[in-house]
Amino acid sequence: YASENIVAVASTDSKGRLSGFSCYGATTVDLAAPGSRIFSTIPNNAYKFLSGTSMATPHVTGLAALVWMYRPALSVMQVKEVLMGSVERSDALEGKCLTRGTINARNALEAASKMEPPCPPAHAPKSVEFEDSVSRIGLIGGTV
Protein backbone atom coordinates (compact mmCIF):
# COMPACT_ATOMS: atom_id res chain seq x y z
CA TYR A 1 0.00 0.00 0.00
CA ALA A 2 1.07 3.59 -0.57
CA SER A 3 1.06 4.37 3.15
CA GLU A 4 3.05 2.39 5.73
CA ASN A 5 0.55 3.03 8.50
CA ILE A 6 -2.21 0.96 6.87
CA VAL A 7 -3.03 -2.36 8.53
CA ALA A 8 -4.89 -4.68 6.14
CA VAL A 9 -7.14 -7.07 8.09
CA ALA A 10 -8.54 -10.51 7.26
CA SER A 11 -11.45 -12.11 9.10
CA THR A 12 -11.37 -15.39 11.01
CA ASP A 13 -14.14 -17.66 12.24
CA SER A 14 -14.61 -19.08 15.76
CA LYS A 15 -12.06 -21.83 15.00
CA GLY A 16 -9.36 -19.40 13.90
CA ARG A 17 -9.70 -20.23 10.21
CA LEU A 18 -10.03 -17.65 7.47
CA SER A 19 -13.72 -16.71 7.07
CA GLY A 20 -15.13 -17.81 3.72
CA PHE A 21 -15.97 -14.22 2.74
CA SER A 22 -12.65 -12.69 3.85
CA CYS A 23 -10.05 -11.02 1.71
CA TYR A 24 -6.63 -12.63 1.91
CA GLY A 25 -3.14 -12.37 0.46
CA ALA A 26 0.26 -13.54 1.64
CA THR A 27 1.78 -10.12 0.92
CA THR A 28 -1.27 -7.81 0.81
CA VAL A 29 -3.08 -8.61 4.08
CA ASP A 30 -1.17 -7.99 7.31
CA LEU A 31 -2.99 -9.94 10.02
CA ALA A 32 -6.33 -11.45 10.99
CA ALA A 33 -8.95 -10.86 13.68
CA PRO A 34 -12.31 -12.40 14.60
CA GLY A 35 -14.96 -11.31 12.12
CA SER A 36 -17.55 -14.11 11.85
CA ARG A 37 -20.74 -13.98 13.89
CA ILE A 38 -19.74 -10.99 16.03
CA PHE A 39 -22.49 -9.83 18.39
CA SER A 40 -22.70 -6.15 17.52
CA THR A 41 -24.88 -3.12 18.01
CA ILE A 42 -27.40 -2.06 15.38
CA PRO A 43 -29.80 0.91 15.19
CA ASN A 44 -32.73 1.27 17.61
CA ASN A 45 -30.90 -0.01 20.70
CA ALA A 46 -30.63 -3.54 19.35
CA TYR A 47 -27.98 -6.21 18.81
CA LYS A 48 -27.34 -8.68 16.02
CA PHE A 49 -24.76 -11.24 14.93
CA LEU A 50 -22.83 -9.76 12.00
CA SER A 51 -19.94 -11.02 9.89
CA GLY A 52 -17.36 -9.31 7.73
CA THR A 53 -13.95 -7.74 7.67
CA SER A 54 -15.88 -4.72 8.94
CA MET A 55 -16.37 -6.75 12.13
CA ALA A 56 -12.70 -7.83 12.26
CA THR A 57 -11.25 -4.36 11.79
CA PRO A 58 -12.72 -2.90 15.03
CA HIS A 59 -10.94 -5.66 16.97
CA VAL A 60 -7.62 -4.49 15.50
CA THR A 61 -8.47 -0.83 16.07
CA GLY A 62 -9.45 -1.54 19.67
CA LEU A 63 -6.23 -3.42 20.32
CA ALA A 64 -4.19 -0.59 18.77
CA ALA A 65 -5.99 1.86 21.08
CA LEU A 66 -5.32 -0.39 24.08
CA VAL A 67 -1.61 -0.57 23.21
CA TRP A 68 -1.44 3.19 22.75
CA MET A 69 -3.25 3.79 26.05
CA TYR A 70 -0.75 1.50 27.78
CA ARG A 71 2.27 3.08 26.04
CA PRO A 72 1.21 6.55 24.79
CA ALA A 73 4.77 7.55 23.79
CA LEU A 74 4.95 4.88 21.07
CA SER A 75 4.81 6.07 17.48
CA VAL A 76 2.16 4.92 15.01
CA MET A 77 4.70 2.66 13.33
CA GLN A 78 5.71 1.16 16.68
CA VAL A 79 2.08 0.35 17.49
CA LYS A 80 1.77 -1.34 14.09
CA GLU A 81 5.00 -3.23 14.78
CA VAL A 82 3.58 -4.41 18.12
CA LEU A 83 0.35 -5.61 16.49
CA MET A 84 2.16 -7.39 13.66
CA GLY A 85 4.81 -8.96 15.90
CA SER A 86 2.48 -10.23 18.60
CA VAL A 87 0.00 -12.28 16.57
CA GLU A 88 -0.85 -15.84 17.45
CA ARG A 89 0.47 -17.75 14.45
CA SER A 90 -1.64 -20.45 12.84
CA ASP A 91 -1.02 -22.96 10.06
CA ALA A 92 -4.59 -22.22 8.93
CA LEU A 93 -3.48 -18.71 7.94
CA GLU A 94 -0.33 -19.81 6.08
CA GLY A 95 -0.29 -17.97 2.75
CA LYS A 96 -3.40 -15.99 3.75
CA CYS A 97 -1.73 -13.04 5.47
CA LEU A 98 1.75 -11.62 5.96
CA THR A 99 2.05 -12.46 9.67
CA ARG A 100 0.25 -15.79 9.38
CA GLY A 101 -1.59 -14.91 12.57
CA THR A 102 -4.51 -13.51 14.53
CA ILE A 103 -4.22 -10.57 16.93
CA ASN A 104 -3.54 -11.42 20.57
CA ALA A 105 -4.07 -8.72 23.20
CA ARG A 106 -1.88 -10.28 25.89
CA ASN A 107 1.02 -10.76 23.48
CA ALA A 108 0.59 -7.20 22.21
CA LEU A 109 0.72 -5.64 25.69
CA GLU A 110 3.74 -7.74 26.64
CA ALA A 111 5.51 -6.67 23.42
CA ALA A 112 4.59 -3.02 24.01
CA SER A 113 6.01 -3.13 27.53
CA LYS A 114 9.44 -4.00 26.10
CA MET A 115 9.46 -1.40 23.32
CA GLU A 116 11.36 1.86 23.69
CA PRO A 117 9.44 4.98 22.59
CA PRO A 118 11.10 7.11 19.91
CA CYS A 119 13.42 9.91 20.98
CA PRO A 120 11.96 13.41 20.77
CA PRO A 121 13.21 15.53 17.87
CA ALA A 122 16.60 17.14 18.49
CA HIS A 123 15.16 20.60 17.97
CA ALA A 124 11.92 20.24 19.90
CA PRO A 125 10.47 23.56 21.10
CA LYS A 126 11.27 24.35 24.72
CA SER A 127 8.04 26.28 25.25
CA VAL A 128 4.78 26.90 23.50
CA GLU A 129 2.84 30.12 23.92
CA PHE A 130 -0.92 30.18 23.58
CA GLU A 131 -3.71 32.68 23.80
CA ASP A 132 -7.43 32.09 23.60
CA SER A 133 -10.45 34.30 23.97
CA VAL A 134 -13.49 32.86 25.68
CA SER A 135 -16.51 35.15 25.74
CA ARG A 136 -17.50 34.55 29.38
CA ILE A 137 -13.99 34.42 30.81
CA GLY A 138 -11.99 36.87 28.73
CA LEU A 139 -8.46 36.42 27.48
CA ILE A 140 -6.60 33.29 28.56
CA GLY A 141 -2.92 32.91 27.87
CA GLY A 142 0.24 31.31 29.09
CA THR A 143 3.43 29.47 28.34
CA VAL A 144 3.81 25.72 28.56
Homologous superfamily of domain range 9-143: Peptidase S8/S53 domain (3.40.50.200)
User: For position 39, what pLDDT does the model report?
Assistant: 97
Q: How many CA atoms lie within 13 A of 20 on its CB side?
A: 1
**Nearest Cα to Cα of residue 74 among 115, 121, 130, 23:** 115
**Is the pLDDT score of 2 beyond 80?**
no
28 falls in which pLDDT band (50, 70, 90)? Answer: very high
CA distance 97 to 24: 6
Give the side-chain half-sphere CA count within 13 A for 57.
9
pLDDT per residue as tens digits for the range 118-129: 776 666 666 656
Domain residue spans in the chain?
9-143
Mean pLDDT of the chain: 89
pLDDT in tens, 29-86: 999 999 999 999 999 999 999 999 999 999 999 999 999 999 999 999 999 999 999 9
